[in-house]
């Protein structure tokens, strides 16, 4: 990785060909923006990173934003490409599966990958952002600018107008390429949406989220087994907990806003938790639960779909600016990091030819981005409800068995999303193919079983007995039959 001691880059190299480096303006200094700065800075481009907030390395943690995230294969690869994977894995806490809490406080472990024991990692948002910014600062051709809020842009000309939120000073900049990494409410995308025939949709779900915290034990240890994502599934709502380095747990309660609004005082809150999450009261602590619940309001969850992601050869959006999703597959950050990998591959292929790079990125990425947005919505239903169903557990066992027997042919949906680099759209197509195969096999097996049993029992059972037996077999088939795919 380049450092401040390296000489300033003059030209970039692609497949043996020299190119003049680009002036790149990245709007948004969060996780995706700072990682993209590293990817492009490593290639020798002059990068200016503009963030409207103060430097997160000196700022206090903002209440209400998730302080930890789930890092999986796609994000790991993007970090490895700039030499930071090991540093983040050493910080992260591995989670090998889900630990489900029922209303009686009993727990059940559901591994993510029972065959190869692959895991995802709980990483701190602030720590990750700090690592990325510190690494970017070491490049002489990456320049960090905080308190720069984008107020307008001419994306055809590459011009930006920004204001300092504190001093109100207006600043301007120009770039060969403007990349919006400024989140779900992107100011760069706001400029793009003004264009005619631009596809854009914004969907808020009826559920919101509110964050709580489980402190360490009196001995300073984790209050629960820490190598799992803990879930309290309750049908129409749920609570989850991810471990932190300081032995605390970030607890997130997801449920309809109407339910949040119905809890108006301490008594109603404690009654609600006694009924649905009795074991969590002791873990969180009664006083802390009341204080944290009423300290902030439940936050909304939004899904953004749009296309294309570029304007001409001057502007592009990636990460949440292009495809914000609900958090239930843990792929928001990973998908944004994968955007960086895909874009870097195109720079490797086409040098600095933005007229080819940007349209191909849009075409290559939109279908996968829409797919993971849909999968994230589906996974909320799975996490809050389906994980408790016998049919879900049976299907998971069957997937594990077939994956063990045919690891290169039968890859379960969760594995393909979290532990592979298979395109998200291909993950859905692969699941649909598996559903079709299982439906045919199970249906055929049921019919064969009915016929075989009927032949054996023809002389020994009445027709009524045979009908009841057939009904039971077909009921079992319906139990095992895969759910409709996303």
Q: What is the DSSP string of 30-78?
A: SHHHHHHHHHHHHTT-EEEEEESSPPTTTSPPPTTS-SEEEE-HHHHHH
Q: Are 269 and 185 in the same domain?
A: yes
Note the helical H segments in 277-389. 278-284, 286-295, 320-323, 332-350, 354-384
Answer whether residue 155 is part of any domain: yes
Distance of CA 155 to the CA centre of its chain: 29
Write out the H or E segment, with its range, that includes residue 475.
helix 463-480
Q: Are residues 326 and 422 both part of a single domain?
A: no
- Nearest in space to 132 (alpha carbons), one of 65, 47, 252, 63: 47
Q: Which H or E element spans position 109?
A: strand 107-111
Q: State which H helix or E strand residue 446 sits in.
A: helix 424-457
**pLDDT for 65:** 53
Place of tokens 């009423």: 294
Distances (CA, A) of 214 to 7, 251, 269, 395: 48, 7, 17, 33
DSSP 180-196: E---TT-HHHHHHHTST
CA 317 to CA 399: how far, in whole Å?
37
In a domain, residue 313? The reply is yes
152 and 266 belong to one structural domain: yes
Q: Give Cα separations from 403 to 119, 409, 413 (angstroms).
A: 16, 8, 11
Q: Are residues 187 and 254 in the same domain?
A: yes
Cβ distance 293 to 210 under 8 Å?
A: yes
Q: Token match 């600062």: residue?
A: 137
Instruction: Supply the pLDDT for residue 460.
Output: 53
Question: Are 314 and 186 within one domain?
Answer: yes
Q: Per the structure, how many domains does the chain have?
A: 2
The pLDDT value given to residue 67: 61
* Cα radius of gyration rounded to whole Å, the chain: 25
397 lies in which domain range?
389-434
Q: At what angle do helices 73-80 and 332-350 cross, to 10 degrees?
A: 40
Q: Which of 19, 54, 24 is nearest to 37 (CA)?
A: 24
Does residue 443 fall inside a structural domain?
A: no
Q: Is residue 363 part of a domain?
A: yes
Between the CA of residue 133 and those of 32, 287, 335, 348, what are the distances in Å?
11, 37, 19, 23
Give the pairing type, strands 97-101 and 107-111: antiparallel
Alpha carbon 19 to chain centroid distance?
Answer: 35
Let me know if residue 405 belongs to a domain. Answer: yes
The values of phi and psi at residue 248, to 5°, are -90, 170
Residues in CB range of 374: below 8 A, 6 or more apart = 428, 486
Looking at the structure, tell me whether residues 347 and 411 fall in a common domain.
Answer: no
**Residue 444 belongs to a domain:** no
Domain identity same for 54 and 127? yes
Per-residue pLDDT of the chain (486 residues; tens, 9 = 90+): 444 434 344 555 555 566 799 999 999 999 999 999 999 999 999 999 999 999 999 987 555 455 679 999 999 999 999 999 999 999 999 999 999 999 999 999 999 998 888 999 999 999 999 999 999 999 999 999 999 999 999 999 999 999 999 999 999 999 999 999 999 999 999 999 999 999 999 999 999 999 999 999 999 999 999 999 999 999 899 999 999 999 999 999 999 999 999 999 999 999 999 999 999 999 999 999 999 999 999 999 999 999 999 999 999 999 999 999 999 999 999 999 999 999 999 999 999 999 999 999 999 999 999 999 999 988 888 877 777 778 777 888 888 889 999 988 999 999 999 999 999 999 999 999 998 888 887 666 666 665 565 565 555 555 555 556 556 545 544 554 444 443
């Amino acid at each position: 990785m380049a450092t401040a001691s390296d000489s300033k880059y003059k030209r970039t190299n692609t497949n043996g060909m020299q190119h003049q480096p680009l002036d790149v303006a990245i709007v948004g200094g969060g996780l995706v923006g700072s990682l993209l700065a590293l990817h492009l800075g490593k290639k020798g481009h002059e990068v200016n990173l503009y963030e409207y907030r103060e430097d997160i390395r000196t700022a206090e943690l903002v209440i209400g934003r998730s302080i930890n995230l789930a890092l999986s294969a796609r994000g790991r690869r993007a970090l490895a490409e700039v030499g930071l994977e090991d540093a983040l894995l050493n910080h992260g806490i591995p989670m090998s599966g889900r630990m489900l809490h029922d209303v009686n406080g009993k727990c059940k472990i559901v591994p993510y990958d029972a065959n190869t024991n692959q895991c995802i990692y709980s990483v701190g948002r602030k720590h990750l952002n700090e690592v990325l910014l510190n690494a970017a600062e070491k490049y002489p051709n990456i320049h960090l600018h905080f308190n720069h809020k984008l107020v307008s842009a001419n994306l055809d000309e590459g011009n930006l107008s920004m204001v300092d939120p504190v001093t109100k000073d207006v600043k301007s900049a120009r770039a060969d390429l403007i990349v919006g990494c400024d989140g779900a409410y992107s100011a760069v995308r706001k400029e793009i949406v003004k264009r005619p025939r631009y596809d854009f949709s914004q969907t808020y779900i009826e559920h919101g989220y509110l964050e709580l915290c489980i402190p360490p034990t009196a001995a300073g240890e984790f209050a629960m087994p820490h190598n799992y994502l803990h879930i309290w599934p309750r049908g129409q709502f749920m609570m989850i907990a991810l471990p932190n380095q300081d032995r605390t747990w970030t607890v997130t309660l997801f449920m309809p806003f109407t339910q949040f609004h119905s809890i108006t005082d301490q008594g109603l809150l404690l009654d609600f938790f006694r009924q649905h999450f009795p074991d969590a009261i002791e873990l969180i602590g009664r006083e802390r639960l009341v204080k944290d619940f009423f300290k902030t309001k439940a936050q909304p969850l939004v899904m953004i779909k749009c296309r294309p992601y570029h304007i001409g050869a001057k502007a592009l959006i990636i990460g949440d600016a292009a495809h914000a999703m609900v958090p239930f597959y843990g792929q928001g950050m990973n998908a944004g990091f994968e955007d960086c990998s895909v874009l870097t591959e195109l720079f490797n292929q086409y040098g600095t030819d933005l007229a080819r790079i940007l349209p191909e990125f849009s075409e290559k990425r939109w279908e996968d981005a829409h797919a993971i947005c849909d999968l994230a919505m589906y996974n909320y239903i799975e996490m809050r409800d389906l994980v408790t169903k016998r049919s879900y557990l049976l299907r998971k066992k069957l997937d594990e068995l077939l994956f063990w027997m045919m690891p290169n042919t039968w890859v379960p949906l969760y594995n393909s999303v979290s532990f592979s680099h298979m395109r998200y759209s291909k993950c859905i197509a692969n699941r649909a193919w598996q559903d079709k195969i299982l439906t045919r096999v199970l249906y055929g097996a049921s019919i064969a079983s009915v016929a075989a049993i009927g032949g054996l029992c023809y002389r020994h059972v009445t027709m009524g007995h045979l009908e009841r037996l057939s009904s039971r077999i077909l009921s079992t088939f319906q139990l095992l039959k895969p759910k409709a795919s996303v």
